[in-house]
Every structure is written in C-alpha cells, then in structure tokens.
Amino acid sequence: MDMLNVTIDGVKVSVPAGTTVLEAARQANIHIPTLCFLKDINEIGACRMCVVDVGGRSLAAACVMPVSEGMVVKTNTPAVRKARKAVLELILSNHERKCLSCVRSQNCELQRLAKELGVEESRFCGDNIEYPLDEISPSLVRDPNKCILCRRCLAVCRNVQQIGAIGAVERGFKTQIAPAFNRSIMETNCVFCGQCINACPVGALREKDDTQKVWDAIADPEKIVVVQPAPAVRVALGEEFGMPIGTRVTGKMTQALKRLGFDKIFDTDFAADLTIMEEATELLDRVTNGGVLPMFTSCSPGWIKYVEHNFPELIPNLSSCKSPMQMEGAIIKSYWAEKAGVDPSKIVVVAVMPCTSKKFETSRPEMALNGLRTVDISITTRELARMIKSAGIQFTQLPDEECFDELVAASSGAAPIFGATGGVMEAALRTAADVLEGRSIEQIEYTAVRGIEGIKEATVTLGGKELKVAVANSTGAAKQLIKKIKSGEANYVFVEVMACPGGCVNGGGQPIVDASTRMDVDPRVARAAGLYAEDAAKTIRKSHENPEITAVYADFLGKPGSHKAHELLHTTYTARK
C-alpha cells in the first residue's frame, strides 16, 4: 500500500493513501473537532467544524480531505480557530439553548465544542422558528428546535438502515430533518430502531422517557414491581458511569435495581433460553413437516415492524415466538404469579432494554394476557442510568454480586449472547445440535456467525444434516439478504435478523458513544466481547440445560410448542403500510 508522508502541526506521520486529514491527525495525537462527521456513516464535510490549513487559498474540511505526499497541515492557527468559532456561533444562532433541562446535557457534542472553543455568548441571532415536538410515538421524540442539521441521523436511517423515514425538508432557516409530508414519525415506516438517537450529537432525538411511570409503580405499595434487564444492558450500563465501553456490570446492575426498590429482580436472559426452546422446536417442526422456510427470528421488534411495512409477504417466514422480553412478561404473570401466590393484576413488569423499539412492542395490542399487559413499562439502558443517578446510587462502588431472584431468572451461556449479532443463531444451534444428535455434543461455539459483518452465512452439520443459515444485522443488511433469498441466489433454513447494526449491544437505547470515541472504539465489538465473556464464564452454556427452564416445562408448560406454550409465548403479526 502506498504510504504518504504528512506533517501535521510539526508532527511527521506516515499514512496509507486515501487517509483523510482527520484520521492522519489522530495518528499524530491531534484531535480535530467535528460535528457532522460520524465514522463510516456520515462523511459529508458539511458543518465545516473540522477546517484546517493545508496551505491552500481557503481552509479545508479535514474529515473529507485526503492527504497528499508532503502535505503540511496546520490545525491550530489563528485563522483556523477564528473560522471554527464563527461556524459554531452560526450553528448556535438558531439553536434552542435550553441546556439546563436537556437530556443530553454533559453528553452533547455541541455543548462540549462551545466550551472547548471558548464560545461565550453567540454574536448572531438567527431566525428562531418554534417547532412543536413530535412525541406521539411510544418510542421516539423529535425536537426540531434542538436540531443542528448535521444529517447524522438521516445518514444512518437512509444509508445503514436503508429506511429513510426522515429526510431534509425545506431550505434555509426553515430546513428541518423530518418525515415526509409534515407527518409525525409515528405515521411513517420508521421501525423505531433508535439508531438516529445514537447518531444525534445533540438532544434533537431522544427516547420517550418512561421513568416517571417506573417511579410511580415503585412508590405504589399495592404493586409488586418486578424488573427484567435484557442481555445487552449488562455490558453497556457501566459506560454511563464512566466505565470502559463493554465492561460487564451484571452484578452491579442487579444491586442497583434492588436499591431502586424493585421487588423482584428477574432476567430477560431466562426468557432468551425459553425462546431457544420454543424457536428450535418451531424450526425443527418446519423442517420436518414442510413448513415455510427460511424461518426468520422474531426477537427484534424493529425487524418485525420492518417486515410488516416492507415485506408483508414474508410474515409467514417469521417465527411465531414472542420476543424474550414478552415471553418473560407472560411467564412472570402466569407461572411465577401462580408459584408465588400473587395476583397477576398487582404485578408491574418493567423491562430494561437496549432498545427504543421495545416501547412500541410493549404497546402492541396483542401483547396482552387476560386483559393485562404482558410487559407494563419498557425503559432503555439510558433511562435506567438516569434513575440510578437520580437516586444517588454510587454505581461504580456497588458490589459485583448478582442478586437475581429465583424461578424465572437463571440463564445458560446461550442467553447473554442474544445481545450480539449471531447470538440467537449460535444459541439455537447449540440446542438444535443436541436435539438432532440425541446427546450432549461438545461443540459449543459457532464462531462463523459471530462478528459485525452485515451478512454472515454458514453451513452447519447437525445430526448428519447440512443446514444453511444466515445472520443479518441492520435492516439495510436484511434488505440485501431478502433480495438474495427472493432471487433464489441463496437458500437458507434459518435466518437471524437484528434491526440494529451489531445487534442489541448497539441498540437505539444504549449509552451514546460520541463521534470522537467512535473513531477509536467500535461499541459493537467491545460490548459483544463482554457478552461472549459472560457466556464463557458460565458452567451451563446450552439453553435446554438451564435447570429453571427444565422446571418451567416440567411444572407448567408441558413441552416446547405445547398448547399452553403457544398461548403464552407465541404471537401473530400485522401487515402495515
């Protein structure tokens, strides 16, 4: 590869041809400020925050300027500093500066830049149009007053997810990033994946905050408030308290939930194992009885909504299994309520999810059991962190001791990996292999389905049979995979799809990793590593060997796929426009 020699602020670096000035500067340990730049997602040189002196007549945008041999870059001249400050002041000229009450305060790239560049009071006053909030969806809130038009959200929506629910509308001061036809995001084909929230440098996109509902439930002495955290939460929650990306905090998380006042700490991981029991049974049934194939997984509510909007003809391919979150809710309000001698109508099930689409899933009318919601409230990892902070709990000081309650919380190693792309596939293969071989086989890890590649394919031999499987992460990758399936180019038996790139670890409800950090660390990889470590640390690593799973079938459900299991753990889907 051609290497080019560049001098940046007097520091000599040698970088491959095609490297941008921004990346080259990083190698010289010089951080150039950015705002619209988001690695691999939005590289459009629009905001001009990253301007540098490369010796030309005008300043160049470092994020899109490729280096050339012998280039001399100055990132810190008076002209550069003046230009950046002016750009920032112009952006601030029509920004609603309500930092005090903003959910992104102290985690806002604009706020941090204003401080770093020494902007005191903006010299300019733009046309400050007051927009109403778009908050009718159960998942997302759009606040155009805070939007700085960086287009990171629409880049991830349009290019990565290939949905394009939002776009740039109008022009000049009237420009908005909004759905077509002045609609609410609720009235579009948005799947509520929340990737736009994670991409937003400011507070213009955020989840619908449901924490007050949780506080109210906890404060109600009549209610038994139980909680179930999803797998991906335990490798991300710590980041909100300054811990490195991907740190496993399962023990601290359960301790914090206890201190917040939840009556029982259950675990979505238990229901992940339950999902494998039901889904593997469904798959084997489809294979042996000529059912519709390939079968698609159904854990990801964004993926479900994506199919319902865009490929309703594939609804029969979706597994009828509810998501683990919904299975856990259903089993808590039936099996656990019975065992504990508790009136299900007094139970409030709170789910902590890495996901904003789960709020939508929670509101789906069919997610009910005898007139009760199976899951009452779904909050994101970020919302849980806010609750912990507001309760004054010193998270990092909590003991690393898991304090899950009994009956519906134990999990095998197959459960935590649900949070990483390929994890559901791997967990299903572990169980399917044993079922087809009729014995406990030694192979546990299926590394071919791990990793952050958009589409992963593998051929596995189970019980002497060759099975072709595929894994897609991001709806964009799923769209490509569907094209392959429809054209007959590929012929799979089982396909796992997660709506978010990297799977749930990178869900729209996870702690926000700023653009600068994302240049060095990929949260998808770091958090997945945490989950695989959690798996490897467990003695039992196959769902069907989890004793609480064996017990729930023996005492309550009968066998996987039984009538009772279908009533409680399976669901239906609706075609949408």
Partner 1 sequence: MCCCNCNNNMDKHTALQQVIDELRNEPGCLMPIMQRAQDIYGYLPEEVMNHIAKELDIPVSDIYGVATFYAQFNLEPKGKYIISVCLGTACYVKGAQLVLDELEKVLGVPAGKTTPDGVFTLNATRCLGACGLAPVIMVNDDVYGRLTPDQVAGIIAKYRE
List active site positions: 279, 282, 299, 319, 358, 361, 366, 504
179 binds partner 1 (CB under 8 A): yes
Among 66, 164, 344, 454, binds partner 1 (CB under 8 A): 164
Q: Closer to partner 1 at the Cβ: 419 or 501?
A: 501
Which of 3, 17, 79, 168 forms a contact with partner 1 (CB under 8 A)?
A: 168
Instruction: For the CB of residue 482, give the shortest distance to partner 1 in the complex, in Å.
Output: 13
Binding-residue pattern over the window 180 to 209 for partner 1, x denoting contact by CB under 8 A: xx------x---------------------
- 163 scored as a contact of partner 1 (CB under 8 A): yes
Answer yes or no whether residue 166 interacts with partner 1 by CB under 8 A: yes
Q: C-beta of 111: minimal distance to partner 1 in Å?
A: 28
- In the three-class reduction of DSSP (H, G, I as helix; E, B as strand; rest coil), residue 43 is classed as coil
The DSSP secondary-structure symbol of 133 reads -
Q: Which stretch binds partner 1 (CB under 8 A): 131-139, 156-164, 525-533, 548-556?
A: 156-164
Closest distance to partner 1 from the beta carbon of 431 (Å): 38
C-alpha 238/C-alpha 438 separation (Å) is 41
Instruction: Report if residue 533 touches partner 1, rule: CB under 8 A.
Output: no
Name 61's Cβ contacts closer than 8 Å, sequence gap at least 6: 45, 48, 50, 51
8 Å CB contact between 18 and 8: no
At what angle are helices 268-288 and 324-331 packed, to 10 degrees?
110
Q: Does 169 bind partner 1 (CB under 8 A)?
A: yes
Residue 119 near residue 127 (C-beta atoms within 8 A)? no
The secondary structure of residue 318, as a DSSP letter, is B
Residue 261 binds partner 1 (CB under 8 A) = no
Contacts by 243-246 with C-beta closer than 8 Å and gap 24+? 243/396, 244/526, 245/513, 245/517, 245/521, 245/523, 245/526, 245/527, 246/523, 246/525, 246/526, 246/527, 246/528, 246/529, 246/530
Of the two residues 439 and 577, which places its CB atom closer to partner 1 in the complex? 577
Decide whether 154 or 498 has the Cβ nearer to partner 1: 154
Q: Closest CB to partner 1 among 185 and 568?
A: 185
According to the binding rule CB under 8 A, does residue 129 interact with partner 1? no
In eight-state DSSP terms, residue 556 is I
Residue from 66, 167, 251, 451 in contact with partner 1 (CB under 8 A): 167
Residue count of the chain, please give it. Answer: 577
Q: What torsion, rounded to 10 degrees, do the Cα atoms 474, 475, 479, 484 define?
A: 40
**CB 169 → partner 1: shortest distance, Å?**
5
Shortest Cβ 178–partner 1 spacing (Å) = 8
In whole angstroms, give the CA distance from residue 518 to residue 511: 12
By C-alpha distance, which of 178, 568, 136 is closest to 363? Answer: 136
Residue 313 found at the interface with partner 1 (CB under 8 A): no
> Does 354 participate in binding partner 1 (rule CB under 8 A)?
no
Q: How far is the CB of 164 from partner 1 (least distance, A)?
A: 2
Q: For partner 1, which stretch binds (CB under 8 A), given 158-166, 206-214, 233-241, 395-403?
A: 158-166
| Closer of 72 and 136 to partner 1 (Cβ) | 136
Residue from 12, 171, 439, 563 that binds partner 1 (CB under 8 A)?
171
- Minimum Å distance from CB 180 to partner 1? 4
Among 165, 283, 284, 398, binds partner 1 (CB under 8 A): 165
Window contacting partner 1 (CB under 8 A); options: 177-185, 201-209, 316-324, 398-406: 177-185
- In the DSSP assignment, the letter for residue 339 is H
Residues near 43 by beta carbon (within 8 Å), at least 6 away in sequence? 20, 37, 63, 64
Q: Which residues contact 325 (CB under 8 A, 6 or more apart)?
A: 228, 230, 268, 271, 351, 353, 358, 361, 362, 375, 378
Give the gyration radius of the chain's Cα atoms.
Answer: 25
Report the distance separating Cα 8 and Cα 27, nearest Å.
Answer: 10
Binding site for partner 1 (CB under 8 A): 154, 158, 163-171, 179-181, 188
